[in-house]
Amino acid sequence: MLQYLVILLDDTSVAYCHAENPLKERYLISLNTLKKAILFGMKENLMIQYVYPEYDLPKEYSELIESIDHIKIGHDIKVYNDVTLSSTAGTAILRTTVADFISKQYDIAAMLSQVTRLIICLKDAELFQDEQIEQYKKALSTLSAMVLNLRKSDYQSEVNILTDRLTLKEMHNCGAGDSNITLAPNGKFYLCPAFYYDEKMGISNRLNHHKPSSERSVGDLETGLQIPNPQLLKLDHAPLCRICDAYHCNRCIWLNQKLTWDNNTPSHQQCVLAHLERNAARTLQQQLRAVGLNAGEEIKEIDYLDPFDVREKF
């Protein structure tokens, strides 16, 4: 069920997930389009998430923006593209590369004491290689040790790739095109911002079997949402994900279509990363329990990192 409407206020709005925003020229959403988008959100009872550019918006936008409950990505939720030790935000997003996550693990761990929730997003997950598994495990254990210490001193530190799995009892993924939809400054809907960027960059839509095109929109504010085969974005149509218990995994459909040519079929990279995180959460859970702290329902031991490798067991 649709719950969130992400509104890109400008073409240069900050990237906040896996995909970079390659658009450099400002294209501010018109007041009229913004008004219609807010109305759509109200009618559909959606929580609005505005994504801000780095420049200040004209004054006349403020009143409209504040006319409905919302979250401001890029403002309330700060987005960092490099490790910073001066963050004072409640929730912050850190977009980093796999290599930087490994090499800057101690600095990233230090960030945990400065925020209540850190959301780590790997910008180049597709480049992850099995040879990096041990290094990634080590970096996760560095973060885990920090979480343990902070929780022992009663600071309820959260980091998505470790602590989310402790509390989740079922899949809680990104939900692009399913629980959330993105509206771009052009007044059209996209499954997520990355699909809009691909369209603007003229990247061929390999999933469009009718004609070569970079078209990615799934409706607009005039005609409404038109997602072709929406069931194909859902968990119950994802044979691997529906048997998986890496409940915190993003299940990034943009990464899926980029790497497997199918929105609902995950790549080896995404699965291995999510399972390394799941297993690190299991170790953290045991350590928290050992010192008498609450750590959620038991995470079972498993002997695989990619459900594809053991699909015949399910």
Q: Is residue 251 classed as helix, strand or coil in its secondary structure?
A: coil
Dihedral over Cα of 10, 196, 81, 109: its sign: positive
**Under rule CB under 6 A, residue 240 binds ligand SF4:** yes
Q: Which stretch binds ligand SF4 (CB under 6 A): 60-68, 124-132, 208-216, 270-278?
A: 270-278
**Under rule CB under 6 A, residue 271 binds ligand SF4:** yes
How far apart are CB 38 and ligand SF4 at their closest, in Å?
33
Which two tokens mark 31? 């007041």
How far apart are CB 149 and ligand SF4 at their closest, in Å?
28
CA atoms in the 13 A half-sphere facing the CB of 291:
13
- Sheet of 47-51, strands arranged across: 70-73, 47-51, 4-8, 180-183, 189-190
How far apart are CB 307 and ligand SF4 at their closest, in Å?
5
How far apart are CB 134 and ligand SF4 at their closest, in Å?
19
**Under rule CB under 6 A, residue 270 binds ligand SF4:** yes
Q: Which stretch binds ligand SF4 (CB under 6 A): 48-56, 107-115, 199-207, 244-252?
A: 244-252
Contact characters 187-226, ligand SF4, x per CB under 6 A? ----------------------------------------
**Under rule CB under 6 A, residue 241 binds ligand SF4:** yes
Beta strands in 42-106 (DSSP E): 47-51, 70-73, 78-80, 91-96
Q: Quick one: 227 or 240, whose CB is closer to ligand SF4?
A: 240
Q: Which stretch binds ligand SF4 (CB under 6 A): 3-11, 20-28, 130-138, 265-273?
A: 265-273
Dihedral-angle region of residue 261 (phi above 0 means left; psi in -120 to 50 means alpha; beta otherwise) = left
CA-nearest of 158, 161, 16, 165 to 94 is: 16
Angstrom distance (rounded) from CA 139 to CA 83: 14
Angstrom distance (rounded) from CA 50 to CA 308: 36
How far apart are CB 125 and ligand SF4 at their closest, in Å?
11
Q: Which stretch binds ligand SF4 (CB under 6 A): 160-168, 212-220, 221-229, 267-275?
A: 267-275
Phi, psi of 154 (to 5 degrees): 70, 20
Site size toward ligand SF4 (CB under 6 A) is 12
How far apart are CB 239 and ligand SF4 at their closest, in Å?
9
**Under rule CB under 6 A, residue 175 binds ligand SF4:** no
CA-nearest of 142, 157, 138, 160 to 93 is: 160
Hunting for tokens 């109305």 — which residue is that? 39
Site for ligand SF4 in 41-70 (CB under 6 A): none
How far apart are CB 110 and ligand SF4 at their closest, in Å?
28
How far apart are CB 251 and ligand SF4 at their closest, in Å?
5
Residues 6 or more apart in contact with residue 95 via CB below 8 angstroms: 15, 16, 17, 79, 80, 81, 121, 123
User: Are 47 and 70 within 8 A, CB to CB?
Assistant: yes
Q: Quick one: 15 or 244, whose CB is closer to ligand SF4?
A: 244
**Under rule CB under 6 A, residue 244 binds ligand SF4:** yes
Q: Is residue 51 classed as helix, strand or coil in its secondary structure?
A: strand
In the complex, the residues that contact ligand SF4 under the rule CB under 6 A are: 240-241, 244, 246, 249, 251, 266, 270-271, 274-275, 307
